[in-house]
Structure formats: structure tokens, C-alpha cells
Structure 1
Amino acid sequence: MLADTHKNWKPTFYGFTVLGCKLSLEFPLAKLTDYEERLDELLESDNVFGWITAAHILTQKTRKQHQERYAAKIRLVRILYQRHWEKQRIIDLLYISDWLMQLPDWLNSQVWQELETIEEKAKMEYVTSIERLGMVKGQYTLLKRLLESRFGLLPEWASEKLKNAKSKELEAWSDAIFTAPTLEAVFNKSDVS
């Protein structure tokens, strides 16, 4: 199986000769780029390898295009939840999509928020509390960097508020950071109890 982007490179033979001895190997070939035109079919398929192939193709198509990759990743996540596969399979495939379709932190945070929304609507929880803690830590880290970038070194009270915040509070403060005139206004204007 070849995952490279060179559509016409399709080796089916490997061999070498050393000191008069010849070794050769012929093998069948599967080239993932051959399936680009069948992307919709792969996405509709209930075959897990079809989903992984589609994820790879979408990753290749969205190279250096963060918004397009975000949209593709959300599409793949929704498909996972529609399949009603077993929990561990979905978790494993979420890890694969994270590995393949890497995004900047701020977009990854949006993926996790969308994942929470999907799980709430479907009344299923696939992502563990430990993984959610990782998500909150990522939100915390990003928000802290944004706040420091805008308002300078954070005073102790602000750092404490951030450390003890829940995901919804971090989301509200993230929204407020762009319009609030002061650090205090970020926290007061959007206080979530």
C-alpha cells in the first residue's frame, strides 16, 4: 500500500543482484491516490479501511489549508458517530484522524467543542474524562497565551481563575478576549457561574 502523492509511481517489483545471486519479489499494489475519485463512496461505506483511506485523501487535499482541513475533520468525526461502531473503534479512529489531520491549537479546540456537542446530541460519550482534561488543558494553555499577548504578564488572581476554570468558562473568556478593553473585563463581562 502506497500513500505518497506521486500518482504515476506504481512499483510492483523489487529485486537486486549481489555476487551473481539474484533476488526478486513481485507484489500487488494498492495506491491510495487511485481512490480520490471514489471519496464519496469511501465516506458512505461501512468499511473502516474506507474511512481511513478517505481520511488520508482528505489530509492530502487540505495540506496547508487549515479551515478546509478543519471542515474535513469535522465531516469525518460526524461520520464516525453516525456509524454507531463500538466505542473503542471510534476512539481509535479519532486518534488516527488527530494524527493524520493535524491542526493549529485554536482549531483543534473547536474540533473538541464540536465533538462534545455531537456526543451531547447523540447521548453517547466516547471521549474519556482524561481526554477531556487534555482538551481543557489545551484551551487553558491557548487562552493564557492569548491573554498574556494582549494584556501582558497575568496577575496571580487571573492565573488562579484560569487554573480552576471549566471548559464553558474558558470558552466564554475566549470569546470575550477580543472585545474586552481590560483583563478584568474579560473575566467579568463573561463570568459563567
Structure 2
Amino acid sequence: MIEQRTDYDSPWKEIIERFFPRLLEFFFHSAYTAIDWMRPYEFLDTELQQLDPEAEVGRRLADKVVKVWLKSGEEAWVLVHLEVQGQYDRDFAQRIYIYNYRLYDRHKKRVISLAILADEETNWRPSRYSYELGGCRVSLEFPVAKLLDYANQWETLEQTTNPFGIIVMAHLKAKATYRDPENRLQWKLNLVRNLFERGYNREDILDLFRFIDWIMVLPEELANNFKAEIRRQEEANRMRYVTSIERLAIQEGIVQNAKENVIEILEIRFSEVPTEIVESINKIDDASALKTLLRTAITIASIPEFQQILNEVTAPRNSETN
């Protein structure tokens, strides 16, 4: 059996943000064709917390709210809900309904609610929420994409150039090879090779490699075999960007360790670390910034003082992304 990563939402969150138009094109074509992609769309990362501040919405990293423009010229909102933990949730449809009407109530804009089910429950397919009382009936129906269904459409996944073809393949094979690391190694190699055969640009390849590498985790020995095979392919001139991919993997390991070290030092020194500080640290990908925060965590006198330094460190980064 292969050790599972606990932070399974993060790679999906990144991939949704990176390829959002292609996601709608692949899973929800009606929504895709209604949107004017010549106009910029905007991710609203804090919107879900504002819609339901008392729930654990902040931990649902893969749920996304996106402001878009329709071809009619109307401003609209897209709610993308992604279930990745593989667990039945009897309140899932109700949650979509609640977010839908609260978002409409806040902004008075029409809302498109969409659901991607990445779980392993074949018969769990929530697509509507309704209730009726005293002659009054309320109902919401929403499109659903069930990733398990694509297991029977493998040829289509192999042939499409949409990045979500290979994303879905990686997800399905990660699930299918949970207890079979040798088979997972072979599929991981096949999928990485496939990246270079689809004509993606360098940035797309690196982002897709990051997703595959994250969800198809291997035991240490097989992970080393994977790296060795990648190097062999590079020497045979069959693959481009492999050196960049390996550097990326090394850099991400350094950054992830740095994040964990900062949080651990804070926990040791102050026992409890506010959730918003942990989330802010986990969003930082700059190794030098994390090095600064590590030194600060060791010497700072209090959590509020650390928060002030954290705000200063992240302020330039936030302004660059807006």
C-alpha cells in the first residue's frame, strides 16, 4: 500500500486556477460556451469564507468562486465544487444550494454552480437539491462531472489535447494503483512521457508534471527508480524539459520543508498558531521569504509580532498577483 498525502485538495486547486477555461471546456461545455473568454475572469479566494464563515470552508481549497463575463455582456459568477476525498457527503447538494443563493444574495448576479466528483462511490451522484413545504417548492439542479465515468472513455482521454484528459488519467490511475506501487510507477512514467507527445508548451508541461508527481506518490525506492528513468530518457534525447522538471521537484521539496519548519517552530514556541497564519505560510512559494520567516519565528517575541512581519513579507507578493 502506498502512503497517501493528506493535502489532496492543493494540487486540484492549482490545476483549476491554471487551466480554468480548459476545465469548463472539458467537463461543462454549456457553461464554457456561455462565457466571453475575451474578457478577463477573476478568482475570488476569500468569497467562500464570507459566504459561510462558521463552516470549515477555508479548508476546502478546491472549491472555487470565479467572476466571469457572459457573451451577452452580463457579469456572472461560477461556483466550482470539487469533492476529492472519496467520501459520501449527504449534505453536499444542500451545501451547493446554500452557496448558490448566498452568492446571489450578496452580489445580485446570476450564479453557475458546477460539481466535479472525484470520489470512488459509483452510485453517489448528487445533482439537485429541493424541498417543498405548504405548497412552496424550492429547487436547484446543477451539472455534475463524475471522474469515475471516464474510466470507460480511456481512448478519448488519450486522444484529447485538453490538459484535463491527462489530469483525469492521472487521478484515475492514482486511485487504481493505491495498493500496487510497481504498477503506479509504470503508469506515472507513461503519463509523464505522454506530456511531451501532446505538444504542450514548457509552462503547461511543468504544471501538469507537478500535478502528476503530487497525486501519484511513490515509495522512496520506486521514486528513485522514477527519477533514474526520467534521466535515462533525457540522455536519449526523447524528452525536453526533464532537467527543469527535476529542478522544479527539488525546489518544491525545499519550499515545502521550509513551510513546515516555520510552522513547527511557531508551534513549539507559542503552542497554538492561528489558522490564518498557517494558511498564509502555506501560500508562500518564495524560498528566500520562507528563510526570513524561519529566522523570525525563532527570535520573535509574540504571534502578533510575527503576523506583522508575515504581512510585510507577503505584501509585495500579493500586490504582484492583483
Bucket of the pairwise TM-score, normalised by the shorter protein: 0.5 to 0.7
- Find the aligned partners of 1:51 and 1:103 in 2 and give their Cα distance: 19
TM-score in terms of structure 2 length: 0.38
Is residue 130 from structure 1 mapped to residue 220 from structure 2 by the alignment? Answer: no
2:174 counterpart residue number: 59
2:146 counterpart residue number: 31
- Quick one: which of 234, 238, 251 aligns to 1:119? 234
Query: Where does structure 1 differ by over 3 angstroms across 4 or more consecutive aligned residues?
Result: 21-24, 129-135
How many correspondences in the alignment? 137
Distance 1:4 1:133, change over 3 A: closer
Q: Please list every run of 5 or more consecutive structure 2 residues that lacks an aligned counterpart in the other structure.
A: 1-115, 255-322
- Find the aligned partners of 1:115 and 1:133 in 2 and give their Cα distance: 14
1:87 counterpart residue number: 202
- Larger CA Rg, structure 1 vs 2: 1
Greater share of strand: 2
Q: State the Cα deviation string for residues 95-118 of structure 1 (Å, max 9, x = none).
A: 101111111111111112222222
CA-based RMSD of the aligned residues comes to 2.9
- Amino acid in structure 1 at the alignment position of 2:222: L
Question: Contact 1:90–1:126 (CA<8 Å) still a contact in 2?
Answer: no
- Find the aligned partners of 1:33 and 1:117 in 2 and give their Cα distance: 33
- Find the aligned partners of 1:13 and 1:62 in 2 and give their Cα distance: 32
- Find the aligned partners of 2:249 and 2:232 in 1 and give their Cα distance: 13
1:5 counterpart residue number: 120
Q: State the Cα deviation string for residues 30-83 of structure 1 (Å, max 9, x = none).
A: 100111111233123222111101111111111111001111101101101112
- Find the aligned partners of 2:179 and 2:227 in 1 and give their Cα distance: 21
Greater share of helix: 1
- Find the aligned partners of 2:167 and 2:175 in 1 and give their Cα distance: 12
- Amino acid in structure 1 at the alignment position of 2:238: A
Question: Contact 2:196–2:240 (CA<8 Å) still a contact in 1?
Answer: no
- Find the aligned partners of 1:30 and 1:75 in 2 and give their Cα distance: 25
Question: Contact 1:91–1:127 (CA<8 Å) still a contact in 2?
Answer: no
Give the deviation of 1:122 after TM superposition: 2.8
TM-score in terms of structure 1 length: 0.61
1:47 counterpart residue number: 162
Q: State the Cα deviation string for residues 155-189 of structure 1 (Å, max 9, x = none).
A: xxxxxxxxxxxxxxxxxxxxxxxxxxxxxxxxxxx
Distance 1:126 1:10, change over 3 A: same
Secondary structure at the aligned position of 1:25 is classed as strand
- Find the aligned partners of 2:123 and 2:215 in 1 and give their Cα distance: 23
Question: Contact 1:73–1:97 (CA<8 Å) still a contact in 2?
Answer: yes
Question: Contact 2:161–2:198 (CA<8 Å) still a contact in 1?
Answer: yes
- Find the aligned partners of 1:40 and 1:117 in 2 and give their Cα distance: 28
